[in-house]
A and B are shown apart, each in its own frame.
Chain A
Amino acid sequence: MSGTTGAGPEVPGIVCAFAVTRTPPDAAALAAARGHEEGGPLRLVRAGGLCLVVQDVPAALFDQEALTERLNRPGDLERCARAHHRGVEAAAGRGPVVPLPMATLYRGDPTAARAVTDRREALEALLDRLRDRTEWAVKVHAAEAPPEPAAEAGAQAGTGAGAGGRAYLSRVSARRRDRQGAHDRALAEAEAVDAELRRYAVAATRHRPQSERLTGHRAPQLLNVAYLVEDARRAAFTGALARIAAAGRRPAVRIDASGPWIPYSFARWDEDPRFGPEAPAAPDREEVRS
């Protein structure tokens, strides 16, 4: 199969790998998809019972130096990320995939195939785990303008027997408490949202919350969670999401969601050849690194 495009590298070129699957996409679907703009057509590399979706890419743009430089340019980084995602999508047409990280590169088909066969057991286990499941990204922000119960503070200050200084301090203190209270309420609601959504998910993992500058929102991002959801439970999950996000249900927070994603966040095992526990391993690592 890998020879059919005529681009099979007898002379070692650089092979960029997108994803592993055991259900290879058909030729037409593969031909219709585009990976990196600078590379050749997408093609398959067989590796035992598994299959890699790859693309030949020019060494001048994809060797270590060139790639590092390109990935540090925001425009190129974005194009590269989107190209990678297209390659992974193309691989996912007929069944589950294990997406590889962006810029997974080999000197040729044989080494790419060996990398897969060497890890076949773990890859098979992951493919089983990810089958008929998608990922949903949910981000919970504090509401932009938390309600300030100023009247209550005024009433309390009034009991201060008219002492101006004390009344002032009391008011300031009450305002501060209100702000802290709003933050605490937002955090509690964010945790409640997460707990509710986990009921509909097979697994969940927390990403580091995105910075306010990156999100463009002034209110802090409290939670950035990925949920792994069974296809059969998708409607239940999105229904729950819609209910929770409905106006007024959770006044202290604002909820953003996107999906379905190919389950990138659940296709990892880090150093261990056996993939890690379902939820708790990743978040610790993510949160520590912020």
Chain B
Amino acid sequence: MTDLDHGYPGLETEPYGPPSGSLADLLERVLDKGIVIAGDIKIDLLDIELLTIRLRLFIASVDTAKKAGIDWWETDPALSSRAARDALAEENAQLRQRLDALERAGAQTAGAAS
């Protein structure tokens, strides 16, 4: 593991800046992170407000995507009922896995016998 000693005096300070960082990357840092030093004006970005902000942000990203012609989540009806479909698919898959296991066990027995 990396050792923890500090101090590499020769290092020049490089300009910071996340060149390819997205707005989402920035927001998840400036909103959620850092130390909260409570001021005497109380602007708590409480979870509920963060959720609102995230919701708005999400809406904004949807708008941006729409402008760019990306709207698959609206035009693909399957996506809206995706959760229900996934639940059914999951159940199907479990049943099929059991069937498959039985079949394989049968095939192996047959293979061993011949």
Contact = CB atoms under 8 A, between A and B. Distances in A.
Interface residues of A, number: 86
A14 B70 CA distance: 42
B29 A176 contact: no
Contact of B43 (A72, A85, A105, A202): A105
A107 B38 CA distance: 11
Interface stretch (A36-44, A209-217, A245-253): A209-217
B37 interface: yes
Contacts, number: 192
Contacts of A174: 100
A61 interface: no
A243 interface: no
Interface residues of B, number: 63
A285 B25 CA distance: 18
Tell me the interface secondary structure of chain A in the complex.
mixed
A140 interface: no
Nearest to A59: B41
Interface string A260-290: 1110110111000000000000000000010
A10 B4 CA distance: 45
Given A89-B16, A265-B29, A289-B47, A17 B6 contact: no
A213 B61 contact: yes
Interface of B: 1-2, 4, 6-8, 11, 13-43, 45, 47, 49, 52-53, 56-62, 65, 70, 72-73, 89, 92-93, 96-97, 99-100, 103, 107
